[in-house]
Chain A
């Protein structure tokens, strides 16, 4: 029976190593993914911990882990978070929240313009330029063809460019 115990320990050790490898490869990207899409650092921290709790469960069930699989979990966790937030906050609070969200070194124009893009095109755009995924990875993540990803990216980039130009022109006229 000692043999069986040692074999069990070896399996457990292998799972731990698998989980640690997936964690090392994806943690920072997952945290930044949430930081870009949620209201605060503490929320991003909580959601990241939730992602790796689920990943650990899957690991214990013997499932293989990869960066893309972890991001698949992250997308679902974010979706659930948005649903929960929508339920708990009223509209006024949500608007206030949107106003207080700070974007990198932008005055808020880019955030406003991003909101006006189609959700599926915005997602591809942000996964590409903010999260650094390739078309092939996004294709696997969203379960669409790589050509569709490229099309969405092309349209989103073009649309963003036009909207930013229009915003700039409006500001110039107002001055």
Chain B
């Protein structure tokens, strides 16, 4: 992204209508959007009354009534002299055991597990400069693929900068340094990525990755910064 585009993005961000959103608005909307939990949406039917929604859900009453009915049946069976209690007690006790000792998390509906933290190995911007048989150079990452994928994009044309290093060449002749992924090889015509895909000098590309904080890549990045390539899908 050049300076003009960066200024455009700043202007776009400043025009964000959501900048005017207040905490009161959010709180009101949060409350409203949570009221759905107070109703059993499966029970909503044409002609139903609102009052019904705030009563105990029908399904639970049915379950309780069914449970009471079965208990009554069991009692009647015992009274009738059918000896089934010895064979039923054990499994009932086994099944009831977990329910009798719910975990703290289960009993407290207001606390839920927080979303997982983002973890993983951050990408390294350190690179070696390798030289192909034809003398072309390329900066290649020294670290294997990291868990963390950056989301910036870099589009351009592969070419050689003034130092003979493979770089992104803009139409006006300026260049931006590239750090190719670990395992990239320099060939006679360009580079071959670790997955076997190749990119030749003169080819256009749209890489995914991120701009390095400015390692010293010598001739491969005379301006200081370089773009670490993390994805290199072909252009659509």
CB distance from A3 to the nearest CB of B (A): 5
- Contact between chains at B113 and A147 (CB < 8 Å): no
How many angstroms from the CA of A106 to the CA of B15 in the assembled complex? 5
- Contact between chains at A147 and B206 (CB < 8 Å): yes
How many angstroms from the CA of A102 to the CA of B13 in the assembled complex? 14
Q: Say whether A64 faces chain B, with CB atoms less than 8 Å apart.
A: no
Say whether, besides A130-B16, A146-B233, A161-B5, A23 and B11 are in contact (CB < 8 Å). Answer: no
How many angstroms from the CA of A147 to the CA of B109 in the assembled complex? 42
Say whether, besides A21-B115, A56-B41, A151-B235, A31 and B21 are in contact (CB < 8 Å). Answer: yes
Q: Say whether B82 faces chain A, with CB atoms less than 8 Å apart.
A: no
- Contact between chains at B235 and A5 (CB < 8 Å): no
A9-48 vs B, CB cutoff 8 Å, 1 = contact: the mask equals 0100110110111011101100110011000010011001
- Contact between chains at B67 and A1 (CB < 8 Å): yes
- Contact between chains at B151 and A5 (CB < 8 Å): no
- Contact between chains at A21 and B113 (CB < 8 Å): yes
Q: Say whether B208 faces chain A, with CB atoms less than 8 Å apart.
A: yes
- Contact between chains at A17 and B155 (CB < 8 Å): no
- Contact between chains at A104 and B236 (CB < 8 Å): no
- Which interface class (under 10, 10 to 19, 20 to 34, 35 or more) fits B? 35 or more
Which of A14, A44, A125, A161 is packed against the most chain B CB atoms within 10 Å? A161
- CB-nearest residue of chain B relative to A111? B15
- CB-nearest residue of chain A relative to B71? A1
Q: Say whether A165 faces chain B, with CB atoms less than 8 Å apart.
A: yes
How many angstroms from the CA of A153 to the CA of B151 in the assembled complex? 12
Chain A residues whose CB sits within 8 angstroms of the CB of B235 once the complex forms? 147, 151
CB-contact partner of A36 in B4, B7, B18, B34, under 8 A = B18
Chain A residues whose CB sits within 8 angstroms of the CB of B153 once the complex forms? 135, 150, 153-154
